[in-house]
Amino acid sequence: MRFSFKVTKVCKQSGARIGELTTPHGAIETPVFMPVGTLAAVKALSPEELKAAGAQIVLANAYHLYMRPGHELVARAGGLHKFMAWDRPVLTDSGGFQVFSLASLRKIDDAGVQFNSHLDGSAHFITPEKAIEIQNALGADIVMAFDECSEYGADHSVAETAARRTLKWLDICVKEQKNSAQMLFPIVQGNVYKDLRLLSLKESAARAGTGLAIGGLSVGEPKEIMYETLDAMRPHMPENKARYLMGVGSPDCVIEGVARGIDMFDCVLPTRIARNGTALTWRGKLVIRNNEYAEDFRPIDEACGCYACKNFTRAYIRHLVNVNEIMGGRLLSLHNISFLIELTGKIKEAIRGDGLLDFAREHGNIY
List residues with catalytic annotation.
93, 266
Please say whether the beta carbons of 173 and 183 come within 8 A: no
DSSP structure string for 196-256: HHHHHHHHHHHH-SSEEEE-S-SSSS-HHHHHHHHHHHGGGS-TTSEEEETT---HHHHHH
What is the Cα–Cα distance from 133 to 72, expressed in whole angstroms? 10
123-132 in b/e form (b: 16+ CB < 10 A) is ebebbbbbbb
What is the Cα–Cα distance from 261 to 14, expressed in whole angstroms? 9
Describe the strand order of the beta sheet including 90-93 as a list of residue ranges: 58-61, 90-93, 142-144, 183-185
Please say whether the beta carbons of 265 and 245 come within 8 A: yes
What is the Cα–Cα distance from 227 to 218, expressed in whole angstroms? 10
**Maximum alpha-carbon separation in the chain:** 60
What is the Cα–Cα distance from 249 to 236, expressed in whole angstroms? 24
What is the Cα–Cα distance from 131 to 126, expressed in whole angstroms? 6
What is the Cα–Cα distance from 104 to 276, expressed in whole angstroms? 26
Please say whether the beta carbons of 238 and 202 come within 8 A: no
Strand 183-185, strand 142-144: pairing: parallel
> 97: Cβ–Cβ under 8 A, 6 or more apart, which residues?
63, 149, 215, 246, 247
What is the Cα–Cα distance from 122 to 185, expressed in whole angstroms? 29
